[in-house]
Structure 1
Amino acid sequence: MGLLSIQDKRLAGVTLLPDDFIDYYMPRANGEFVKIYLYLLRCTHLRDADPSLSSLADVFSCTEKDIVRALRYWEKAGLLSLKFHGRERELERVELLPISSSLHATQQDPGPEIDPYAPDGSSGKAAGSEQIADAASQNTSREKTAKPKPSVMQISSGRMKQIHQDEVVKQILFVTQAYIGHPLSTTDMRRILYFYDELHFPADLIDYLVEYCVSRGGRSLDYIEKVGLAWNDEGLTTLAAAREYNAVSRNNYYTIFKAFGIRSRSPIPDEIATMQHWMNEYGFDLKLIGEAASRTVKQTGKPSFPYAERILSDWHKAGVHTLEDVARLDEEHQNRRKQAPSGNAGAAVGDRQNKKPAGDATKFNENFHQRDYDFQQLEQELLRQQQRPGEE
């Protein structure tokens, strides 16, 4: 019997995409970056495919800089290797790396976007070099003080298959779905079970986490994840600890609301995040925040969180820690206002026609210009008019 010739035509026109890319990398990447990566996979199966930056930019209707920014992102995630040459740092080669050898990248965040044309991926001025420096310093301190957090807060699909029949897991998913009000996708399930399997939250704490977030209007998995990770950072690993922490926080929120004059409603998630920012990152106590809230209402006539944020941000930059520091800043401000007019009085008179009035001038004063009459000439004109009847 002769040999059989077997041909497989099923994969014609098909681009294979690794499951690990879908599970770990795609959920947190920019959509445009994902499209560019998928197109690179497609190009590996094209004959004589040798795309340039300009041709890729034409395909996606973007700039070459946008293409290189996406390539830099995937390079930092461990999926690409880029080679540049020359002083102009021209891109010469793109090498796709196997995901199996770069799964360590799922344990770190690719970080902020960088200037694609800066040497060695460093940031230029336009891309925000200070932001890159801050991120680098934060990463260094984090490595010294804490374990790195995975960029994708979810368990793997393999681990999901192992534990999905566990009765506790079923109960967690059932309660979560009931609170959220819609069926959970596979990705949603893996994100919820991350708290159970990776952070070792007990089932009752996860139930309380979801209930807490939904009661404050946050039904999205992103919000639930953010609150849960914040609890983990605070060391809240039991239901009792979480309840006590939230009770104290709730009292603080309503104290701040009272300073704003808000009594008829509960804080929404954005307001809670802002108040936590004031207390945790700025380190302000309730007295300082209450003073900022009081000044906000006096100036704007309404409880404006953005206005209060500007006040507290200025205080934070000025190193304010107590109400006495605030009083000192107020006194310095008043002294500057008193000294400014006396020192510039002569210049103010000479430039009155070319400058706007001082800060407390009204719109009427800004738009009204006094007429400069020669009263002696007007008086002579009036006398001449009175003498004319007699002369006739």
Structure 2
Amino acid sequence: MAYIKFLTQAPTFVHLPHWFITDYMPKSLGGYLKVYIYLFAQSNSPAQPALSLESVAHTLDMLYSEVIQALKYWDKEGVLHFKELSDKQFELDFYLEKPKTVPKETAPKLPLSKTIISQSRPEYRTEEINLYMQDSTSVNELFKIAEQYLGRLLTNTDQKILYSFYDWLHMPFDLIEFLIEYCASNNHTAIHYIEKVAISWVDEGINTVEQAKEKVTLDKRYFKILSALGSSKSTITLAEKKCITRWLTEYQFSLDVILEACKRTVMQTNKPSLNYVDSILISWYDAKVKTLDDVILIDKAYESKKQLSSENKHSSKRPQKMTKFNDIYSHNWNFEELEKLESEYIERKLNGGN
């Protein structure tokens, strides 16, 4: 059994430090907080005997490895002192004064996002997994379903990672099953790839199958749009997702309208330019476009305007056509003189042309 030795003097009541509540509690995991408060209370109990970490894990409904990880986390944050004296003996001391130093660089840092999980997966022992398989039919059923979807027998590593989805990421079993089915249907059967997807879902606050299905549908839209631009990427950047989301939500364009803009972009630029697509969609948004029929109407109006402009331009450069009335060069003719010349011409003809 592993035991811990308390060094803190035990008062008759539990009083959590205010600085811990305001500065450390908000960014901590629920499991880590549970370990801290429980052991802090135990350390402040009068005549408290040494506790085994196994019994602590059992009381808190946690794994032994999780308790160790939580204590190491708080030690690196500088709010307590946790030291392994031997395989079965540990030393634990809670600090009542706020740490004056920056937490150690090795402390696990929480991502600067809305994630509520630690970056480090707990290290489960094979005995722990076997124990949970014996006690839980749900765990056994999950492993069997996973083998069917992945098309192979699960290794010890596979089992530990899959179990971590439930124990570490707090994903419901039906959500884990949908996750495995989704990844396998896209030819992604590597357990570490599935783990990355699981973490990303939890990071985005997805905790039900319905939410996961909505995300999958939206992701399909993202990749269909990128595919229309000639991109074959299997991942999408935050900037790309933000741009496409704006088209779908702020501009409220249907997928077929966006795909039409992508088609025109490729024809004009011959490259996957999201900026060019965005410029097209902005012009359509300003023109109140909602459907492809609206796009067709805009195209017709544009062609008519273009043709009219071309005709006007051509007409302004064309020389004026001359009629039979103005084919003769203009002079100041004396019509009396013309009549006289005509009479003389007739008289010569009558006299034999002389």
Structure label with greater radius of gyration: 2
Give the structure-1-normalised TM-score.
0.37
Which gives a bigger RCO, structure 1 or 2 (Cα 8 Å, sep 6+)?
Answer: 2
Give the structure-2-normalised TM-score.
0.40
